[in-house]
Structure 1
Amino acid sequence: MSGTSKLTSGSRVAIVGGGIAGAGLAASLLFNGRARGVALDVRVYSGGTEERTAPPALLTPECRSRLAALGCRIPPEWRAHELRGVEVISQGERELLPCAAGGLWVVDGWPRGEGGLDMVRHVLSTAASAQGARFVDRHVERVERQAPAPDAPTAVRNAGPLVVRAQGSGERFHAVALAAGAGPLLGDAFFKGFRPAPSMPAVQARLQGAMTGRDLAPVARLWVAPLPSVDALFLIPGASSVYALAFGAAVTPADLCQVLMMAARDGLLEEGFEVAALETTRLPFGPGRTLVAPGQLAVGPAAFGHPLQVGLSETLASCSRAAVALLDGGLDAPSLERRYVRDGLGELMEDAAAGARSITWLRRAGRRAPAAFVAARAKHATGGVYGGGVLGLSAPTPLGLLSAARWSGVREVVGSWLRTPMEPVPTFVPEVEPDLYYVVDDDADTREALTLLLESTGARVVSFADELALFCAVARRPPTAILLDVVLHWVDGLRLCEGLKQHPLTRDTRVLVMSGLNRPHVRQRALDAGAEAFLPKPVNPDRLLCQLTGRVPDPLAAPREVLRPAVVESFGEDRFAS
């Protein structure tokens, strides 16, 4: 290997990360190496690549072609759906961006099988293994540049200057590629000065019972800025579920759950869904700045990307360009920078920067955001040579979307100075049902006690152990009042109270907040959120009934025997003392 900047037969290459990018790079390296008569020794460190949520895979025609070129055939039966289009939603405005016939496949097998990304990864891994790649289920801690000692055995001196440290072991390689995805990466532990793609927090989930029907041609949805902390929400139909992804600089699992409740209220999801899997993740948010060193580079989401880039074409394109660059001049940093970053990834990185910037402008565009997609699509009819459209479509391109979103954002900001804010009036507002009460508490004994107490006065009660159905229930069937606990499973009751008070269909609903945290700041937060009253636990039944009905119940009219021992135990013996 001395005296050459290229990988030659017998060169050892390590790939850190066994996901789509890692398996794709391994297959590309071996395929391109064989075409040049170069036999490489490729090892993939695949530890830590599994995700509990198992996202689906969205495959464009170009993506399927790239996979086929690597020897990966996607069976048609893996296709859960062929999307009719992507619907963009913002502040009540909607626009459908249609897909071309045979365009966007949703590959998915969850929950009976694997998620689509895992299915594609296994196909790529199988293709790479068939060509000679070896997969090692170990997690890499760092990569060191360490020249062999002069008196080291010949095999060690020829093994390469890069040492990969993985769970206590160390092996030498001539080149190392980072394909570990976005988010917390090796940083300087990959090489000094390494600056990968910036990333943004996200939360993903699988929803069961959320299908809107077995449509022959379903749509995916992008909801722009549903909450101040959420830049956008994706809803993608899977095989037997819906995949949800929310992203934003301060997004949390509670934000995702609250947005899902809002989506069910607005008819974007079927009522009664359950969150079957949920986890935090990170998405690439622009291009990396320093991606190469002698014999080292980053590929896929570790190098560039943006949240509106939902397909795999760009990741696979970076794999093929990285393979060519490593074979042509991978051991020389200037050559690798020129061949891989400037010549290979130039347009892709420009798209990543434009896609990330467009998200800020889409938030500012507000209700004009859906129209911005349509305008960008009409002006820029086709994507670039890399198929760089957003949302898995051939158009609009990220640059075209940025231009349209910026113009829409400016118009919306200027227009907001000149017009009086007007809230859209719902077309139908259901009437409040008298003597109907909702009880929301994750404690079964408390729910039973409150239900029996209210039913003893002749009221009808619906209790919720899971708060995810609350927004939808209140919008469809408004109750007289809601008894809402603060500490719930997914979203705290104070946030739910705020959400109810912010929507025209539910803002007039009376809400009483309950909590065992009887502190002044909790009480004040409840009142600031719009609650009618704050009731410390254990709840005083006389005070509760007085708050709800304006009168204190007669103990003789509702004897303790009617309330059952469970109620007395829950509220306390002294509460029923005469």
Structure 2
Amino acid sequence: MSGSRLVSGSRVAVIGGGIAGAGLAASLLFNGRARGVPLDVRVYSHGDPESVPPPVVLTPECRSRLAALGCRVSMDWRAHELRGVEVLAQGRRELLPAPPGGLWVVDGWPNGAGGLAVVREALVTAATAQGARFLDRHVERVERQLPAPDAPAAVKNSGPLVVRAQGSGERYHAVALATGAGASLGDAFFPGFQPAPTVAAVQARVRHGSSRLSIAPLARLWIAPLPTVDGLFLLPGAHSVYALAFGPAVTPADLCQVLMMAARDGLLEEGFELSAMETTRLPFGPGRCVVAPGQVAVGPAALGHPLQIGLSETLATCSRAAVGLLDGGLEAAALERRYVREGLSELMEDAAAGARSIAWLRRAGPRAPEAFLAARRRGSVGGVYSGGVLGLAAPTPLALLASARWAGLREVLGSWLRTTVEPVPTAIPSLEPDLYYVVDDDPDAREAITQLLESTGATVVSFADELALFCAVARRPPTAILLDVVLHWVDGLRLCEGLKQHPLTRNTRVVVMSGLNRPHVRQRALDAGAEAFFPKPVEPERLLRLLMGHAPEAPAPVRVAEGTTGLESDRYAS
């Protein structure tokens, strides 16, 4: 290294082996060779595999950027091509048509890899062909540590940055962080590092009874379907639908409820099932401090917002970072100017506007879909490196923010002049008499209650997983649901509350069971809308009397658990 610039043979570390990490490695090597500066690039790619492999949407710009990095974009990748993106809110919907060149959905799951993995593998292959080395090691921190005066020349020429990974350390001249949203090293990358803020999200794969895609190939964005959900994406994959719900307080139970509503409104085929689900984080604006001497952050770690579809912004940060490191030098001021102010300014404005527009779209309510069309009609086009929302060339995030703000103000003013009326579901399945659902992760308890109810001639469907319950309730509302408190994904009391809030299950009887016979648990169950709370082991006579309306018997003494009071001993909301 000569002074503060990368020269031939300089060592660069990239932390993160996803799309951003592999893209940056390929871009560094490509741009370095073009300038006569071959580099030694190492990518630390250790990371936990996702249990929900996402598909990916490739816009025409995405495909061009991938080709420029040496990726062969095969037609075989394309599962299908979207007709456009439909925006929905409170019963209103508008279609934003796909741009010329089309929106490709890349996906092979479950028979093959998810689309994100397909594109990442292609980028890894392109980067490896140009000389990048991928190391399966977890990075703990990055240190700035000048070599000792008496250190060998090889050490002195290896750079001032030390990457600590699994007990060992290696020296580099420059280090880039490409770990994605929510996985930042924080101050362990460099003191004062402030990556992009994030918002909670839950993603899932929804499979249908048949592999045929009978619903038109549209991506859908549902604005504010629930108070805790800012938006829901539904993206048809090869043999499934990818669902992503985001919001500050979104939970797996929220995603399940919204999927029930989507099935009610015909957005999902009947007979769907949830195959996988996990929580994640999404970028929600620009980072404030993303550079230090010789260090940069790229991809979702630097900026982004939930209304982005595709990889254009991530790949753009990779090319801007490579140019910034090679042409701007390694000093903090030079990187700030070359990479942030000149390279990312438009993208950061877009990220800030996209994040802010979500709050206004929520306020806009039924006017939200029209806000997208109004922004699109303005004909605004982004700058050299910025783009539109939802994978489209227009509207830009800045144009959408202006339209969403105006729509939100009009809706707030209009709400003062009218009474809110809850929308009525388009179709509510008829209740099936003598159909009972039992939800318990304990197979012995599940079997015992099933046999008890079946002995009366009732039809019983038991579930070990509460996710399957949501899918079944959307199709066949039961007479009653018997619900355990401790479940895999969702707290049973939270699930009970959600069932009572949903139009499809609001009038369904719910009985909560638990081995936690405590006053606060009982009270929470009743407050959540449960008809009764039964401590385990459940007394068969009492349960049948409640469910079947048998002649009441003399109340038996209630067992009170050790350490509790008798205040709850005689309360059954039957």
Query: Normalised by the size of structure 1, how large is the TM-score?
Result: 0.89
Match of 2:195 in 1: 196
Q: Output the CA distance in 1 between the equivalents of 2:433 and 2:132.
A: 69
Per the TM alignment, residue 530 of structure 1 is displaced from its structure 2 partner at its CA by 2.1
Match of 2:95 in 1: 96
Q: Is the 8 A contact 1:310 1:391 kept in 2?
A: yes
Per the TM alignment, residue 341 of structure 1 is displaced from its structure 2 partner at its CA by 0.4
Per the TM alignment, residue 553 of structure 1 is displaced from its structure 2 partner at its CA by 7.9
Match of 1:511 in 2: 510
Q: Output the CA distance in 2 between the equivalents of 1:135 and 1:475.
A: 46
Q: Tell me: CA distance 1:396–1:213, structure 2 relative to 1, closer, same or farther (3 Å).
A: farther
Letter in 2 for 1:538: P
Pairs within 5 Å for 1:552-571: 552=551
Match of 1:522 in 2: 521
Q: Is the 8 A contact 1:15 1:26 kept in 2?
A: yes
Q: Tell me: CA distance 1:155–1:201, structure 2 relative to 1, closer, same or farther (3 Å).
A: same
Identity %: 79
Q: Tell me: CA distance 1:434–1:209, structure 2 relative to 1, closer, same or farther (3 Å).
A: closer
Per the TM alignment, residue 381 of structure 1 is displaced from its structure 2 partner at its CA by 5.2
- 1:22 is the counterpart of 2:21: yes
Pairs within 5 Å for 1:256-275: 256-275=255-274
Q: Is the 8 A contact 1:265 1:471 kept in 2?
A: no
Give 3-state SS (helix, strand or coil) of 1:63's partner.
helix
Letter in 2 for 1:82: E
Q: Is the 8 A contact 1:306 1:356 kept in 2?
A: yes
Q: Output the CA distance in 1 between the equivalents of 2:285 and 2:233.
A: 19
Match of 1:128 in 2: 127
Pairs within 5 Å for 1:154-169: 154-169=153-168
Q: Output the CA distance in 1 between the equivalents of 2:386 and 2:120.
A: 21
Q: Tell me: CA distance 1:97–1:543, structure 2 relative to 1, closer, same or farther (3 Å).
A: same
- 1:185 is the counterpart of 2:181: no
Letter in 2 for 1:544: L
Per the TM alignment, residue 475 of structure 1 is displaced from its structure 2 partner at its CA by 5.0
Deviations 1:227-246 (A, max 9, x none): 33322222222222222222
Of stretches 315-324 and 274-283 in structure 1, the one that deviates more from structure 2 is: 274-283
Match of 1:51 in 2: 50
Of stretches 472-481 and 359-368 in structure 1, the one that deviates more from structure 2 is: 472-481
Give 3-state SS (helix, strand or coil) of 2:343's partner.
coil
Match of 2:249 in 1: 250
Per the TM alignment, residue 284 of structure 1 is displaced from its structure 2 partner at its CA by 1.2
Give 3-state SS (helix, strand or coil) of 1:182's partner.
coil
Q: Output the CA distance in 1 between the equivalents of 2:273 and 2:431.
A: 27
The two structures, once aligned, show a CA RMSD in angstroms of: 2.4
Q: Is the 8 A contact 2:54 2:115 kept in 1?
A: yes
Q: Is the 8 A contact 1:380 1:400 kept in 2?
A: no
Per the TM alignment, residue 252 of structure 1 is displaced from its structure 2 partner at its CA by 2.9
Q: Tell me: CA distance 1:87–1:102, structure 2 relative to 1, closer, same or farther (3 Å).
A: same
Q: Tell me: CA distance 1:265–1:451, structure 2 relative to 1, closer, same or farther (3 Å).
A: farther
Q: Output the CA distance in 2 between the equivalents of 1:492 and 1:103.
A: 42
Match of 1:74 in 2: 73
Match of 2:342 in 1: 343
Pairs within 5 Å for 1:121-520: 121-209=120-208, 213-215=212-214, 217-380=216-379, 382-386=381-385, 388-471=387-470, 473-474=472-473, 476-520=475-519
Q: Tell me: CA distance 1:38–1:266, structure 2 relative to 1, closer, same or farther (3 Å).
A: same
Q: Tell me: CA distance 1:212–1:152, structure 2 relative to 1, closer, same or farther (3 Å).
A: same
Per the TM alignment, residue 24 of structure 1 is displaced from its structure 2 partner at its CA by 0.9
Match of 2:569 in 1: none
Q: Tell me: CA distance 1:422–1:170, structure 2 relative to 1, closer, same or farther (3 Å).
A: same
Of stretches 331-340 and 454-463 in structure 1, the one that deviates more from structure 2 is: 454-463
Per the TM alignment, residue 430 of structure 1 is displaced from its structure 2 partner at its CA by 4.6
Letter in 2 for 1:186: L
Of stretches 524-533 and 18-27 in structure 1, the one that deviates more from structure 2 is: 524-533
Match of 1:565 in 2: none
Q: Is the 8 A contact 2:90 2:366 kept in 1?
A: yes
Q: Tell me: CA distance 1:499–1:380, structure 2 relative to 1, closer, same or farther (3 Å).
A: farther
Give 3-state SS (helix, strand or coil) of 1:344's partner.
helix
Unaligned runs of 5+ in 2: 554-574
Unaligned runs of 5+ in 1: 555-578
Match of 1:541 in 2: 540
Q: Tell me: CA distance 1:433–1:326, structure 2 relative to 1, closer, same or farther (3 Å).
A: closer
Q: Tell me: CA distance 1:518–1:386, structure 2 relative to 1, closer, same or farther (3 Å).
A: same
Q: Is the 8 A contact 2:273 2:471 kept in 1?
A: no
Q: Is the 8 A contact 1:211 1:237 kept in 2?
A: no
Q: Output the CA distance in 1 between the equivalents of 2:428 and 2:287.
A: 50
Of stretches 470-479 and 533-542 in structure 1, the one that deviates more from structure 2 is: 470-479
Letter in 1 for 2:25: A
Q: Is the 8 A contact 1:211 1:269 kept in 2?
A: no
Q: Output the CA distance in 1 between the equivalents of 2:74 and 2:143.
A: 41
